[in-house]
Amino acid sequence: MQIERFYYDNKIVKWFGYVTMLWGIVGMMAGLYVAIQFYAPGAAMNFAPTTFGRMRPVHTNAVIFAFVGNSIFTGVYYSLQRLCKTRMFSDRLSWIHFWGWQLIIVAAAITLMMGYTTGKEYAELEWPIDIAIAAIWIVFGINLFGTIIKRRENHLYVAIWFYIATWVTVAMLHIVNSFEIPVSLMKSYSWYAGVQDALVQWWYGHNAVAFFLTTPILGLMYYFLPKAANRPVYSYRLSIIHFWALIFIYIWAGPHHLLYTALPDWAQSLGVVFSIMLIAPSWGGMLNGLFTLRGAWDKVREDPVLKFFVVAVTCYGMATFEGPMLSLKSVNAISHFTDWTIAHVHIGGLGWNGFMAFGMLYWLVPKMWGTSIYSKKMANNHFWLGTIGVVIYAVPLYWAGFTQAQMWKTFTAEGQLKFQFLETVTHILPMYVTRSIGGSLYLVGAIIMVVNLAKTIAKGNFIANEAAEAPAREVPDSALREYWHRWIEKRPMTLMVFSLVVVAIGGVLEMIPTFLIKSNVPTIANVKPYTPLELHGRDIYVREGCYTCHSQMIRPFRDEVARYGEYSKAGEFIYDHPFQWGSKRTGPDLAREGGKYPDSWHYNHMLDPRIMSPGSIMPNYPWLLDNKLDTASTPAKIRAMQTLGVPYPNGYDKIANTDLCNQAAAIKKSLKKDKIETTADVEIIAVIAYLQRLGKDIKMAPQQDDAIK
């Protein structure tokens, strides 16, 4: 057995660690900025790129893909080398991965602020960036699997299976959810529409949580927690069981984002049941982590790293109990569209993801610079600021969520809705203020960490290439008593394929039926495609991110039908590429907005929402009144829609602009009646046309002709 000398690459870990901290601060500041806009909408400064609708995806993409993403790569590049007892497969691929990912992040920030968005949550980036993400992910995969294959350690430690499952599933999710038809360089339409798009989107969205925010971090937990505590994980058997259970069950949970919507009932029920079952494997992971520290709790008292890990794992447990509870239809009836969802998200994001990243960085930096932490006191202060910050973030939002839901559902003794929608928003503004204080504390803590680690780095000496030695890998003797998991552990490619099959089953079974059944989505005779002008208006709605505050999905509840009109039917959304059902009601639902107000109401409302709704927190959209509508793109948009199956007549793309001009002229005329002078070629005309179309089709008498209205 020959001993081989080699070196671990710490440089790549260092750089991923640096950008983790950079994007963490940037992402949290973006979060604080949008949080402030809830009670100070003027903070958008009348500037399109900084409105909530555009900045919210900047925040979510920054914290998920830039902050957590880079923290994953930091931890994976460090742990994988040492678990495999080999250097990364290719230094060059490491750096292509690093620079590629950071360029994607920068491109994301710029394009999102400019309004280039697909309108699909957590997948907002347009198609050229989607392709770049796929390319860099493949680079990462080659490096990951190459390292595993050239390993000197026979067994694949549990962390590595989590990394494999992450890589495989994220690839599958990204590719399937990103099926879109480009219309221009930075604009595309989702291949899916309406109900199907909703299902694909939330199959993706929930599994982004599962396989980007959970499984890789569990992998990191299985490495860094034992390292920091210097004890092996509590139960390796449990880690095997909960790994397979987690990756199988998680995939099915997506429909819990669509409860009481127009999604078919069988899909909703599957989502509920599997979400409840998910408690078991999730808590398996939590208990495995916490029990690893049994008998060593005195270490936790002394070591900030362990403090962060303990709170992180506890928050993981809390969030993975709360999530299944929110997946119960009765609970979801109250929580959906409220701030309760945001509170839940941030327990996981701030508590689990953030604290795991912090703990890992506090452990890694002294290690890689061969020194001790500059100030344990500062680290402890960060810990307390962060923990209290999480609490002050979440509790006001629980209060806000409950309050708003109750207010929405309150009827007077005479049977009328008691509260106007706007009242339910202004009532909870103090909660939004408090929430942003919590977030600020959390951010201050993170800044303290950066200072502390900078000073640690200054007093240490970086070990760029860490010497190590290990025997060459021995060929396993397969005649001995090998249990099947050791068999599969030795075959990482097989493990990858098996994981892919396991995670694919859930998606295939939930989604394929909706695609293959002709009558699955009941078609409603009156529902017709959007007119060209309305299509433009819809694209502007997507561009400005209106769906981040306004839903378009009326649930079959008495209070919603009373407030918004007939509840939404699946067949109404068949031409919606992408769907825009929304996830939050900071503003009222718009599903049946068509015909509620005159055109002039919408004109004034966009100019300054407070003209029509005093006390509104919506930002101003004055540029819509001046920007010229891009009618040159109409033919391309119509053709794209035709490819997607929307039944515009053949050759309609050539004459679409004529219909557009006629409809715009009519709107201009109706505005003039209300003393508003405008040209017919500005974006607001298109937006008004779109808003006035929403939800109207099912109210119309059956049509005899087949012309597009």
The binding site for other proteins (CB under 8 A) comprises 3, 79, 82-83, 85, 153, 155, 157, 159, 191-193, 196, 222-223, 226-227, 230-233, 236-237, 240-241, 244-245, 248, 469-471, 481, 483-486, 502, 505, 509, 513, 515-518, 520, 644-645
Angle at CA of residue 109, ends 80 and 258, nearest 5°: 80
Q: Return d(Cα 195, Cα 204) in angstroms, integer.
A: 14
Q: Return d(Cα 229, Cα 235) in angstroms, integer.
A: 15
Containing 9, the helix (H) or strand (E) segment is: strand 3-9
Q: Return d(Cα 203, Cα 306) in angstroms, integer.
A: 34
> Which residue blocks in 427-491 are alpha helix, DSSP H?
429-458, 484-489
Residue 27 or 366 having the CB closest to other proteins: 366
CA 328 centroid distance within chain: 21
| Minimum CB–partner distance for residue 134 and other proteins (Å) | 21
| Minimum CB–partner distance for residue 643 and other proteins (Å) | 9
Residue 370 or 513 having the CB closest to other proteins: 513
Q: Return d(Cα 491, Cα 493) in angstroms, integer.
A: 6
Look-up of token digits 């069950």: 249
| Minimum CB–partner distance for residue 179 and other proteins (Å) | 9
| Minimum CB–partner distance for residue 152 and other proteins (Å) | 8
Residue 577 or 592 having the CB closest to other proteins: 577
Residue 242 or 257 having the CB closest to other proteins: 242
Q: Return d(Cα 455, Cα 653) in angstroms, integer.
A: 62
| Minimum CB–partner distance for residue 405 and other proteins (Å) | 33
| Minimum CB–partner distance for residue 236 and other proteins (Å) | 4
Q: Return d(Cα 498, Cα 428) in angstroms, integer.
A: 48
- Return the amino acid letter for 232: P
User: Would residue 337 be called left, alpha or beta, if left means φ above 0 and alpha means ψ between -120 and 50 degrees?
Assistant: left
Residue 232 or 702 having the CB closest to other proteins: 232
- How far, in Å, are 68, 81, 83, 228, 337 from residue 366 at the CA level? 21, 18, 20, 12, 44
- Return the amino acid letter for 193: A
| Minimum CB–partner distance for residue 645 and other proteins (Å) | 5
Q: Return d(Cα 666, Cα 663) in angstroms, integer.
A: 5
CB 685 within 8 Å of CB 625: no
- The structure tokens listed for 564 are 């918004």
Please count the residues of the chain: 709
| Minimum CB–partner distance for residue 498 and other proteins (Å) | 9
SS3 assignment, position 356: helix
What does residue 6 show for φ and ψ, rounded to 5 degrees? -155, 180
Q: Return d(Cα 240, Cα 187) in angstroms, integer.
A: 43
Residue 26 or 199 having the CB closest to other proteins: 199
Residue 180 or 339 having the CB closest to other proteins: 180
What does residue 64 show for φ and ψ, rounded to 5 degrees? -80, -60
- How far, in Å, are 34, 56, 64, 338, 362 from residue 31 at the CA level? 5, 7, 12, 18, 23
What does residue 463 show for φ and ψ, rounded to 5 degrees? -100, 95
| Minimum CB–partner distance for residue 392 and other proteins (Å) | 35
Residue 232 or 295 having the CB closest to other proteins: 232
Residue 250 or 442 having the CB closest to other proteins: 250
Pairing of strands 180-184, 187-190: antiparallel
| Minimum CB–partner distance for residue 507 and other proteins (Å) | 11
| Minimum CB–partner distance for residue 508 and other proteins (Å) | 8
- The structure tokens listed for 338 are 């409220």
Residue 230 or 330 having the CB closest to other proteins: 230
Residue 451 or 517 having the CB closest to other proteins: 517
CB 258 within 8 Å of CB 198: yes
Residue 416 or 483 having the CB closest to other proteins: 483
Q: Return d(Cα 667, Cα 655) in angstroms, integer.
A: 19
Residue 150 or 237 having the CB closest to other proteins: 237
| Minimum CB–partner distance for residue 484 and other proteins (Å) | 5
Q: Return d(Cα 144, Cα 167) in angstroms, integer.
A: 9
Containing 496, the helix (H) or strand (E) segment is: helix 492-516
| Minimum CB–partner distance for residue 583 and other proteins (Å) | 23
| Minimum CB–partner distance for residue 230 and other proteins (Å) | 7
- How far, in Å, are 33, 230, 687, 707 from residue 534 at the CA level? 32, 62, 7, 15
Q: Return d(Cα 22, Cα 253) in angstroms, integer.
A: 33
- The structure tokens listed for 200 are 């694909």
Residue 501 or 700 having the CB closest to other proteins: 501
Residue 15 or 224 having the CB closest to other proteins: 224
| Minimum CB–partner distance for residue 694 and other proteins (Å) | 23
- How far, in Å, are 73, 96, 207, 278, 291 from residue 234 at the CA level? 25, 37, 27, 21, 6
